[in-house]
Amino acid sequence: MENTKNKVVIAGASGYIGHNLLNKLKGKAGLVGLSRNKKEDTDSVTWRSCDLFSLIDAEAGLQGADIAVYLVHSMVPSAKLTQGSFEDMDVILADNFARAAKRQNVKEIIYLSGIIPDGDENLSRHLKSRLEVENILRSYGTPVTAIRAGLIVGPDGSSFPILAKLVKRLPAMILPKWTSSKTQPVALDDVLNSLSKVILNSLKENRSIDIGGPEVMTYRSMMEETAEVLGKKRYMFNVPVFSLSLSRLWLRLVTQTPKEIVYPLVESLTHEMIVQKSNYVAGISDGKIPFRDAAKKAIEADKNKKKKKKKTSFGPLIQDVRSIQRIPLPKGQSADWVGRYYSIWLENFLNPWVKTTTDDALNCKIGFLNKDFLLLELSYSSERSTTDRALYYITDGFLTDDTQNERGRMEFRKIPGQNEVIIAIHDYTPSLPWFIYQFTQANAHLFVMQAFKRHIKKIDEEKLPLPDSCVTVQ
């Protein structure tokens, strides 16, 4: 019997899958939608403004949740200037979500992932990241059900709209080798059915479930059927090569899709995305809607959406920065140690131009030539830090815009289950004019981070001696 009493919190509720899932669950559970932007509550959905890059926001967003649904992916940058890969951004988002779920006593996390081919050790960056997120969500003890899907056939999202645009815009296509790869496309409605069954009949256990439609197809056969749905004659010619760079360029130019979305997806096209017996669950894995029917519905919905499309108004543009780097963690050390060691190394590396001082409370001041000309002040948050996560708020300094910098912070975070640390700056607003900042301070920060990464890697590989203390008392 379906449980109508659970409070279900959906992260990514305003996205492609999320808003459809909310409609699917109306009246069947208490619904809370999480969104970066403020939204008005409705009779069926309570909205919470939540930036999942902030652990505090994530904890507030999941307050009172029985089931937490994770539909978040960070392919598209969320700050005006983003330095870092989508994989590393996904690590932080998933880690915050999992930590918050544990603290708020969430009973189960439901995660929409991608099909992971069995025995394939050379996963694409995209699939490797999906699996890493899955493992991170499980790392704090909250049971996780991962619903793994291949190509989802719907009017929005990424994969199917790209395929449909190719068919619409090219009367003749030279098809590279990846178009012969097999996949098991699944209709959006089937995905929503599978998600809702898992959400409403929670088993509170760790499991991974593959889902797919009734047909196993190649990308070429999907293009051919899409052309028939569109009523267009298309000429297709196979070539026996797979050129990653040419395929990226081809898809990006023809479909006008951002490279942040196209590039990771193209890398995954060599994998066979088919439901595996080991991850098959009757009634959840087996989608019923044929590809042709799903494609027809998606194309019609896209046409109707374009007719009704209104101009979107945006608020004032914030000149904020997000910079994320991943570095190795020396054996026996913690993320907190990396944070303390960084200030010592920074002075040695940039000597004599930069001077750093750290007090007994681990607050760090970074000065130019001497401590009196303050460039940045990093205030250590003892109540929000652990050995696995050291948090410093950016509170002062010549390089900070004090009028805009409300939540600027720098953190050092261990990746669960790995000997790696994420170093991240969030919500930082520089004082330098933006056009100057991009070509000076931003590049300088990347240079310093790469140098620190090489230094830490050398410590780890060559087993160099470490300082007894990483605190320089002021």
Q: Summarize pLDDT for 149-186 with one digit per residue, the tens.
A: 999 999 877 788 888 888 888 888 877 777 888 999 99
CA separation for the pair 221, 215 (Å, rounded): 11
**Predicted TM-score (pTM) of this structure:** 0.91
> Helix, strand, or coil here: 473?
coil
- Using a pLDDT cut of 70, give the percent of the chain over it: 90
Checking if the pLDDT of 316 tops 80, the result is no
How far CA 294 is from CA of 66, 157, 160, 196, in Å, comes to 32, 14, 10, 19
Q: Is the pLDDT of residue 311 over 80?
A: no
List the structure tokens of 33.
Answer: 């939608």
pLDDT score, position 312? 46
pLDDT of residue 409: 96
pLDDT of 3 above 50 = no
Examine the pLDDT at 14 and tell me if it is beyond 60. Answer: yes
CA distance 177 to 241: 5
Give the model's confidence band at 397: pLDDT under 50 very low, under 70 low, under 90 confident, else very high: very high
Please report the pLDDT score of residue 236 as a whole number: 85
The DSSP line for 373-406 is SEEEEEEE-GGG-BTTEEEEEEEE-TTB-TTT-S
68-111 pLDDT, tens digit per residue, is 999 998 777 778 888 999 999 999 999 999 999 999 999 999 99
Instruction: Say which residue the tokens 């995305």 belong to.
Output: 273
Q: Quote the tokens at residue 421.
A: 């640390």
Contact, 137 vs 99, CB < 8 A? Answer: no
Q: What b/e sequence results for 264-279 when a residue is b if at least 16 CB atoms lie within 10 Å of its CB, and e otherwise?
A: bbbbbbbbbbebbeeb
